[in-house]
Amino acid sequence: MAKYIVKRLLIALIVLFGITVIDFGIMSLAGNPMEIIGAGPKVNQAALAQKSANLGLNDPVPVQYVRWLIQTLHGNLGTSYKSYQPVSSMILSHLGPTLILMTSALVLAAIIAVSAGIFSALHQHSKADYLIVTLAFLGQSIPQFFLGLVLIFIFAVKLKILPSSGMRLLGSDGSGVQFRYLILPCIVLAVEMAGRDIRYIRSSMLEILNKDYLRTAKSKGIGRRLVIYRHALRNALIPIITAIGMEIPALFGGSIVVEQVFSWPGLGLMTMNAVLQRDYPVIMGVCLMTAVVVLLTNLVTDILYALADPTVRLE
């Protein structure tokens, strides 16, 4: 097991290195960011050139990359071109709201998907099954931003019961987030995930229900309830873990769109602004962080997978 984890970690490191190279490569293709940041009639071109030189933007791209890499390995992600704040503190200050949003959406989606998916599989070809599958299809097919707009229109504009955007902290010490502000963005983020996972969990559950060992269990006459709880659900754990693990990259992507629609002050909104302003150190920092999180979740998923399924052999 330990050997397997070490091997996977090494591969993850190689992949991570590759991701940073690709990122840096893409951004270097765009040319000197100072030309965009400093575009305007009143900008002193000499000062701009001086600034580019100070930031080392005139060096060859590989040199810039190695400098970035060394700096990053020392735990320094650089400073923003725009706000002059350290990137790491910018990420940290925006991470909280995004984590709250992502976690609540993931939990909501998991609850919906697991219960609806299993229910649907146990009642295959019933009216409820068709309804659930159709709703899952619909959830998967609605663009998140459109669902966000519709919900804002209904709950904030027409019914006036929920706020349309922003985030308020609870209490003066800012210890929690007001639940009202979380509801709509959380639903929007959860719907697509739930739709996808319902179908995945349903079909895996159907597969399990047709397996020989379930027929054996049934023919032992231990009763439908025991068959499902003791045999089917336990085996369904594996697809459930896989489904939820696979959602992490989608969550990061989804949060960018959702935060934009609801002006949720998290990483997504910050990233979007950095992208618009070509604030490269910030973009690099966010890409690095998300890549690390995604790779770690992949690793954890694989380990959980191995723990849940004794037949998975690790080499």
Give least dist CB 252 to another protein, A: 4
Query: Which residues of this chain interact with another protein, rule CB under 8 A?
Result: 11, 14-15, 18-19, 22-23, 26-27, 29-30, 137-138, 140-146, 149-150, 152-153, 157, 249-250, 252-254, 256-257, 260-261, 271-272, 275-276, 278, 283, 286-287, 290-291, 294-295, 298
Nearer to another protein, 209 or 295 (CB): 295
For residues 18 and 12, give the distance between their C-alpha atoms in angstroms, rounded to a whole number: 10
For residues 19 and 237, which CB has a smaller minimum distance to another protein in the complex?
19
Nearer to another protein by Cβ, of 79 and 164: the residue is 164
Yes or no: say if 52 and 58 are a contact pair by the CB < 8 Å rule.
yes
Task: State the nearest-atom distance from the C-beta of 169 to another protein, in Å.
Answer: 24
Nearest alpha carbon to residue 116 among 211, 204, 197: 197
3-state SS, one letter per residue, for 178-237: CHHHHHHHHHHHHHHHHHHHHHHHHHHHHHHHCCHHHHHHHHCCCCHHHHHHHHHHHHHH
Going by C-alpha positions, the residue among 252, 238, 237, 239 that lies closest to residue 296 is 252
Minimum CB distance to another protein smaller for 227 or for 258: 258
Shortest Å distance, C-beta 204 to another protein: 15
Q: Which is nearer to another protein, 61 or 138 (CB)?
A: 138
CB of 287 to another protein, least distance (A): 6
Is the CA virtual torsion 65, 250, 91, 301 positive or negative?
negative
Q: How far is the CB of 175 from another protein (least distance, A)?
A: 29
